[in-house]
Structure 1
Amino acid sequence: MRLDKFFKAPHPLILDGGLSNVLEDQGCDLNHSLWTAKLLAENPEAIIEAHLRYLKAGAQCIITSSYQASVSGLMTMGYSRKRAKELILKSVLLAEEAVAKAIASETIKAKPLIAASIGPYGAYLADGSEYHGNYGVSDQVLRDFHAERISILAGSNADLLACETIPSLLEAKVLSEALKYVDKPSWVSFSCKDEEHLNDGTRIEECVSLFKDHPQVFAVGVNCTKPKFISGLIKHIKESTNNKKVIVYPNSGEAYNAQSKTWKGLSEPKHFVEMSKEWAKLGADIIGGCCRIGPEHIQRMSKQIRHFVG
């Protein structure tokens, strides 16, 4: 699928928001090492409903529930390798089902994009290490881990691959190489600790430069990062890209406790919609939300951004 038709200047493409917070609102218990991926086998209808809520809110691209679904992680939970691969592919099938339902009910008129989520190695560890990137494993371990899931999802019906919440230069280099061998457009988004650096301390320009001429990566940006850092990051990213799309989908600004799997601190969602106008003005081509950003934020953002830039 050609992506050009989804980018109609001056309007940015609208992504969905956090999947986990919607699932928790629906009563799902996600206190598990597989996080949202555990519902692929246990409660797939909840995932479909979560996707539908974002489609109703105006999302033009929904991200699958495969962020924490890896062959290694699923096998650790007792699934066979064959079943693990089936469940990873199921994340795309559930997104397709949500799209079909939304179209059939005339909730939406245009078919949205489906992005297959590929989370960092730290998501598999389920210990919060995606927030620092210091995994203590070799390059080869990272290559093998990512290559298998990329291969699985590249063969799916997803429109694109979403490599997200990447916290380190090392993991970015591994992904840059792995994505050269897939026949599907991809984006790579980093998790950052401030408006200049990834969580491992690498400057954002250095990581973005890895993909400036990449044949398969059409967009680079940031996700799961505090909203207050996004404007500065957009400026640095645009200085380091070579006509790539810029994607931003921050979290609410709260702090995550990996031990209790809870969010604490003051949140910033009330400012999210207003801040997103600035991101669009600065040149963000794709805008959405990550953890703790819900359908109501996406709906308001979609309406106000389009009014603002139109």
Structure 2
Amino acid sequence: MTDPSLPCLILDGGLGTHLADRGNDVTGSLWSAQILRDDPSEIVAAHRDFFAAGADVATTCSYEVTVGGLLHAGVPTAEVEDVAESLLRQSVQLAVHAADGDHVIAASVGPYGAGPGQGTEYDGAYGLTAAQLAAWHRRRIGILADTGADLLFAETVPSVLEVEALAGELDRAGRPAVLSVTVTPGDGRMLSDGTDLQEVAAIVSGSTSIRAVGVNCGSVADVLAGVRRLAEFTDLPLAAYPNSGERWDHVNRVWVPRETGGLGLIDAVPDFLEAGVHLLGGCCRVTPREITAIRERIADA
């Protein structure tokens, strides 16, 4: 249940990596979307694990549901559009079923890099225009906007052109939305494609649908630097959900261990609150255990 006495909403953690922790195989090209296809009950169970840990928000298992990804996985061309729509709608239905009460359902809109971009959500090297990216995102956003989700959650966005495209498509959909980006490792003030976050702040501040902007799937220090930079140029509420500090090697599809030391997520909770973060949680490799610790740290702040 959401707690109005807390200064922010608690996001969930890494859904895909938690599914792996539960014994599911997410090593294929569809990642967590494979479990969505094969064993929907596991998606419900994983959402419930995060709710039990104290999360207010469930981020749906739609991040990697794309036509291109499904084609690559062997879905016939004649069926792929219908399969994609069915899975997108099912991802929201499962989260709603898992919530069974006063929780927020955020429909995940993954970036182009998580589909045919093949892992480029961390550098934005797409070679596409904003118009091309908008066209690619349009149908998926339209489908998710036509579900029981409370908001659309465009996340792990590495490119300013994709930020521009998504802002336009989210406004077209007319549903409340959050947009979260990835940043350059070691310099959280810059989008992954090298653009200053000042430009991201300008784009989202002009949106009619985006209600919050944030940074995700980077180290705690980089995500904190990113939200601080955004706060300089926008009054929108901020979202922050770092990963465990490990780096995803999309070529070999393995996690590279983080360097020792560095700011820890739980210790950084007061810093995130001071920076103006209103949605706080974790991304890849952040477990229900850490979500509980985040909630407890916020309650004690």
Give the aligned length: 294
- 1:239-259 CA-to-partner distances (Å, cap 9, x unmatched) read 111x31111111111111112
Instruction: Give yes or no for contact 1:252–1:269 (8 Å, CA) kept in 2.
Output: no
- Which of the residues 179, 184, 190 maps onto 2:170? 179
- 1:176-226 CA-to-partner distances (Å, cap 9, x unmatched) read 111111131000000001221011000111112101131100000101111
What root-mean-square deviation, in Å, do the aligned CA atoms of Structure 1 and Structure 2 show? Answer: 1.9
Alpha-carbon distance between aligned partners in 1 of 2:15 and 2:31, rounded to the nearest angstrom: 10
Given the superposition, is the C-alpha separation of residues 38 and 10 from structure 1 closer, same or farther in structure 2, using an over 3 Å criterion?
closer
SS at match of 1:263: strand
Instruction: Give yes or no for contact 1:190–1:223 (8 Å, CA) kept in 2.
Output: yes
Instruction: Give yes or no for contact 1:92–1:116 (8 Å, CA) kept in 2.
Output: yes
Look up the match of 2:230.
237
Alpha-carbon distance between aligned partners in 2 of 1:32 and 1:189, rounded to the nearest angstrom: 25
Look up the match of 1:254.
246
Instruction: Give yes or no for contact 1:185–1:216 (8 Å, CA) kept in 2.
Output: yes
Look up the match of 1:301.
294
Identical positions, percent: 35
Alpha-carbon distance between aligned partners in 1 of 2:245 and 2:216, rounded to the nearest angstrom: 11
Report how far residue 7 of structure 1 moved. Answer: 8.7
Instruction: Give yes or no for contact 2:129–2:161 (8 Å, CA) kept in 1.
Output: no
- Structure 1 unmatched ranges of 5 or more: 1-5, 104-110
Look up the match of 1:78.
75
Report how far residue 126 of structure 1 moved. Answer: 5.9
Report how far residue 41 of structure 1 moved. Answer: 1.4
SS at match of 2:215: strand
- 1:110-138 CA-to-partner distances (Å, cap 9, x unmatched) read x1100000010000026321110011234
Look up the match of 2:158.
167
Instruction: Give yes or no for contact 1:186–1:217 (8 Å, CA) kept in 2.
Output: yes
Look up the match of 1:131.
122
- Counterpart of 1:78 in structure 2: which amino acid? V
Given the superposition, is the C-alpha separation of residues 10 and 84 from structure 1 closer, same or farther in structure 2, using an over 3 Å criterion?
closer
Report how far residue 278 of structure 1 moved. Answer: 1.3
1:26 counterpart = 2:22: yes
Instruction: Give yes or no for contact 2:117–2:126 (8 Å, CA) kept in 1.
Output: no
Instruction: Give yes or no for contact 1:120–1:130 (8 Å, CA) kept in 2.
Output: yes
Alpha-carbon distance between aligned partners in 2 of 1:10 and 1:233, rounded to the nearest angstrom: 23
Alpha-carbon distance between aligned partners in 2 of 1:171 and 1:150, rounded to the nearest angstrom: 13
- Structure 2 unmatched ranges of 5 or more: none
Look up the match of 1:199.
192
Task: Normalising by structure 2, report the TM-score.
Answer: 0.92
Moved more, 263-272 or 229-238: 263-272
Look up the match of 2:267.
274
SS at match of 1:210: helix
SS at match of 1:156: coil
Instruction: Give yes or no for contact 2:13–2:50 (8 Å, CA) kept in 1.
Output: yes
Look up the match of 1:212.
205
